[in-house]
Amino acid sequence: MSIPRLVFVTCIFSLGEIALAAKLVTYIFGDSLTDVGNNNFLQYSLAKSNFPWYGIDYSGGQATGRFTNGRTIGDIISSKLGIPSPPAYLSVPQNVDALLKGVNYASGGAGILNDTGLYFLQRLTFDDQIKSFKKTKVAITAKLGEDAANKHFNEATYFIGIGSNDYVNNFLQPFMADGQQYTHDEFIELLISTLDQQLKRLYQLGAQKMVFHGLGPLGCIPSQRVKSKRGQCLKQVNEWIQQFNSKVQKLIIKLNRGLPNAKLVFADTYPLVLDLIDNPSTYGFKVSNTSCCNVDTSIGGLCLPNSKLCKNRNEYVFWDAFHPSDAANAILAEKFFSSLFSSAPSAAPSPSP
Ligand SMILES: *[C@@H]1O[C@H](CO)[C@@H](O)[C@H](O)[C@H]1NC(C)=O
Ligand SMILES: *[C@@H]1O[C@H](CO)[C@@H](O)[C@H](O)[C@H]1NC(C)=O
């Protein structure tokens, strides 16, 4: 039995470079899978997790705004890289010393499109996150000067994980316009052309080493399974996600060819997450088709303070109806980290000297 490994296409820079960089600085963009507390600062946001039982397995045992019982994948990858997990952008004092160490702009409910997650009232969309990053750049440039600032941003690594909400909190929601207005082919074109512009904007702001985390098999998350007759994965949804992932890979190849010194990488998490779900016992899990806490998917699918928790949280792949448990994140991060050091064949000529 082979364990699926993360597949990196267009690996024209060694991911090991990230881990070995002398002064590693990371900037993180994304949604609730990587939010470390930004939404707690959005007064009217309904996409919040700052209540029990979130954080029950985090150091201190308190909710921090992370959408899981413990650490996010980003937290675990950071700790493996030997750096502190970058703090939430909205929690950081806007002084340059803090911003220079790396920041996390991720926001629960966010998507590639502006209208994704509209009904959460407030969240930092990917466009908002890029705007905030631009402010970070302006502040750092004012202090360090243009050359030093450019060097700083060119050398940093950017982790981006976005797009899940464009499905689960947009296209797949019957009351949202996009699912009515567009066929899936049209919708995916809209997602990819928007993402193309967004990644180019990040590049123009100085981002060169970008790692884009592909989407997992969303048809198998508990909030989607309940829509099937017998709790099975939604095949159509998984097919759409695979189409999305494959279009993003093509986009990344195109961007690497067109943008000097761009080193974008696609981290394909889909096969690994699917294997975790299909063969939970291989990884020490017992349950992968439902969440640890009992959730009401009709009112959001998050664990609520009155939710009943499973007995052994490490036996569940899913914490709530959307988000992996700390134990699952640990395995995903482990696989990602070991892939940093396994060299992938070059798909394109390296533009670097
Ligand atoms: C989001 O809205 C802003 C204006 O508020 C607009 O400039 C931008 O192009 C929109 N982005 C997307 C992805 O639709
Ligand atoms: C999950 O799988 C188990 C065993 O395979 C089954 O008994 C249970 O009904 C399933 N739960 C859901 C919510 O589908």
- Bridge partners, residue 8, by sequence: 267
* pTM of the predicted model as reported, rounded to 2 decimal places: 0.92
Q: Helix H segments across 49-121?
A: 73-81, 96-99
CA distances from 95 to 52, 101, 207 (A): 32, 11, 20
Say how far residue 65 (Cα) sits from the centre of its chain.
15
CA atoms of 276 and 281, how far apart (whole Å):
8
**pLDDT tens track for 258-311:** 999 999 999 999 999 999 999 999 999 999 999 999 998 777 789 999 999 999
Domain spanning 7-343: which superfamily? SGNH hydrolase (3.40.50.1110)
Q: How far is the CA of 230 from the centre of ligand 2 (A)?
A: 9
CA atoms of 26 and 85, how far apart (whole Å):
9
231 pocket-lining for ligand 2 (C-beta < 6 Å): yes
Q: How far is the CA of 96 from the centre of ligand 1 (A)?
A: 28
Q: How far is the CA of 304 from the centre of ligand 2 (A)?
A: 22
From first to last of its 353 residues, the chain has per-residue pLDDT tens of 444 455 454 444 556 666 566 579 999 999 999 999 999 999 999 999 999 999 999 999 999 999 999 999 999 999 998 999 999 999 998 889 999 999 999 999 999 999 999 889 999 999 999 999 999 999 999 999 999 999 999 999 999 999 999 999 999 998 899 889 999 999 999 999 999 999 999 999 999 999 999 999 999 999 999 999 999 999 999 999 999 999 999 999 999 999 999 999 999 999 999 999 999 999 999 999 999 999 987 777 899 999 999 999 999 999 999 999 999 999 999 998 888 776 544 333 333 33
How many CB atoms are located within 10 Å of the residue 112 CB?
24
Q: What is the 3-state secondary structure (H, E, C) of 10-36?
A: CCCCCCHHHHHCCCCCEEEEECCCCCC
Closest listed residue to residue 171, CA positions, set 218, 139, 212: 218
Contact assessment for residue 48 and residue 40, using Cβ atoms and an 8 Å cutoff: yes
289 pocket-lining for ligand 2 (C-beta < 6 Å): yes
290 pocket-lining for ligand 2 (C-beta < 6 Å): yes
232 pocket-lining for ligand 2 (C-beta < 6 Å): no
Catalogue the active-site residues.
32, 320, 323
